Amino acid sequence: KNQVEQSPQSLIILEGKNCTLQCNYTVSPFSNLRWYKQDTGRGPVSLTIMTFSENTKSNGRYTATLDADTKQSSLHITASQLSDSASYICVVISFGNEKLTFGTGTRLTIIP
């Protein structure tokens, strides 16, 4: 069964600190992996898209990594801001039917 698992489930850090969120998946065949940010009560918004050949991709303070061999991805947030408080969802897209399989997300809370 295609699955996407994320850890930790929730995380609380001080403003200005860095953090790393993890995503492990079993989805096959693999097309690409995306990290979404979802504010409470709103729809998810894309942060990064990682294809099979990409190992690292940055978007401002967000850096995503992908290891397609071990089927793991991480999202690193540097110099966290209060506005980073949200759920971060890892989504893996299957090759062929382009079906999206969602992880359960990591709930990140930044405290001042």
Partner 1 sequence: DTGVSQDPRHKITKRGQNVTFRCDPISEHNRLYWYRQTLGQGPEFLTYFQNEAQLEKSRLLSDRFSAERPKGSFSTLEIQRTEQGDSAMYLCASSLWGSRGENTEAFFGQGTRLTVV
Give me the sign of the Cα torsion angle 8, 14, 15, 17.
negative
> What is the C-alpha separation between 89 and 37, in angstroms, rounded?
6
Which residues form the interface with partner 1 (CB under 8 A)? 4, 31, 34, 36, 41-46, 49, 89, 93, 96-105, 107
Q: Which residues contact 54 (CB under 8 A, 6 or more apart)?
A: 66
Least separation, in Å, of the C-beta of 50 and partner 1? Answer: 11
Between residues 19 and 50, which has the closer beta carbon with respect to partner 1?
50
Between residues 63 and 102, which has the closer beta carbon with respect to partner 1?
102
Least separation, in Å, of the C-beta of 103 and partner 1? Answer: 5
Between residues 44 and 84, which has the closer beta carbon with respect to partner 1?
44
Nearest Cα neighbor of 74 from 3, 10, 7, 13 is: 7
Between residues 22 and 78, which has the closer beta carbon with respect to partner 1?
22
Least separation, in Å, of the C-beta of 91 and partner 1? Answer: 8
Nearest Cα neighbor of 64 from 83, 53, 52, 77 is: 77
